[in-house]
Structure 1
Amino acid sequence: MTAPARPDGERPTVVVLDYGSGNLRSAVRAVERAGAEVVLTADKQAALDADGLLVPGVGAFAACMDGLRAVKGDEIIGRRLAGGRPVLGICVGMQILFGRGIEHGVETVGCDEWPGTVERLEAPVVPHMGWNTVEVPEGSTLFAGAENERFYFVHSYGARRWELVTNDRTRAPLVTWAEHGGDRFVAAVENGPLWATQFHPEKSGDAGAALLRNWVATL
């Protein structure tokens, strides 16, 4: 089914989910600059109805999941994806999409959109903070025009393995990787309507702006 044509000049709508986590104002401004009409809200219906949903996240996995569940964000994400509606997760907003997170020996159940565990990076220096390159797979829409750029990371935890196996029954996700201190981790995923980045595109200058434009262009 083809989406109806958007009237000339009309901007797609994006809800930045306000669940008490993330650099919300900078995310709103960055997505606005990328060409969307942006609303910062925890309202369930608005989040379901928007053309795109951005899920930010900063801090601990467990705290983010608590905040997300408090506004039924896990249900919102699930319902949107069931209907093929775009969702973009950023930083811990990406991590909570995995099955579980382990921090300081405490295991927290995530949204389980992807199997796998978010765990502490095994690198000599943690957190991983600053600019880094990424390994982009062929055919990426998210990184189109920015395949060789550097992006801004700040995190101590990540998904160090990709565990989803499709066996060619469905289109395999495009997984982008990065490395810090000899340890590889998932830097971004493009999986149908569900996209996510471990780095902060809203803090990544022109390269991050290009990624957000690419996402908004798909809405």
Structure 2
Amino acid sequence: MTISKTKIIQLRKDRGWSQEKLAAIASLSERTIQRIEKDGTCSLDSKMALATAFELSPAELSASDEKYVQESAVKTDWSGAFGLLILGMAIPLIILLTGTNGPWEVASFTIVIGLTVILSIMTYGARNTHKLFDKTSWIVRYPTRVSGLNELIVQAQTAISNAYIIGVVASVVTTITLAVHKPEMLGNYQAFIAVVLKPILYAILFSEFWFRPYKRKMEKMLRCQLGE
């Protein structure tokens, strides 16, 4: 059975996957992937597996190479790169200006990001969560046409909401813990506030400087596709 080898290669590269990673996701051997990309032939089962991995119909994998190259153009948004640069500068600056305890800085960041990922896995599954975080590079470089944007937008909004909830809960728990086990910190109001608000601060950075721009980029991509 024939399949568009150019389309398979481009789909894989658009997602930043190696042949080995595509083989693992599609439950095929790496040698099978290499043969498909070289010869453009495969079995029906292999074609179905690749269609599932790319979230496309089998028929779409048979589209002409020329048509796909035109449709899968990648654009670069340098404003997105600037936003990520600001985020990268903001985190160490905040740690430098407000840091009171090294381990707590790491713990606050890990609690917010880690539990957000865990909740996403519990809700949408490991595979969809991996796809959600893997595609954040779209903030800078994004394809002009891609399937499944509605689902990713919903997942991104859920991640933003969960991050804020986790940040608030972590801050409340920290407040109670310090009040019970380290009441002497209540006398140092500035240090106390800096410690208890740190999870909320990281939730804001995660949501507003990373995932909300990512969500807005996907919404823009969806509007462009629907307007074509």
Report TM bin, short chain.
under 0.3
The structure carrying a bigger strand percent of its residues is 1
Q: Normalising by the residue count of structure 1, what TM-score does the alignment of the two structures yield?
A: 0.27
Greater relative CO (CA pairs within 8 A, separation 6+): 2
Report which of the two structures shows the higher radius of gyration computed on alpha carbons: 2
The structure carrying a bigger helix percent of its residues is 2
Q: Normalising by the residue count of structure 2, what TM-score does the alignment of the two structures yield?
A: 0.26
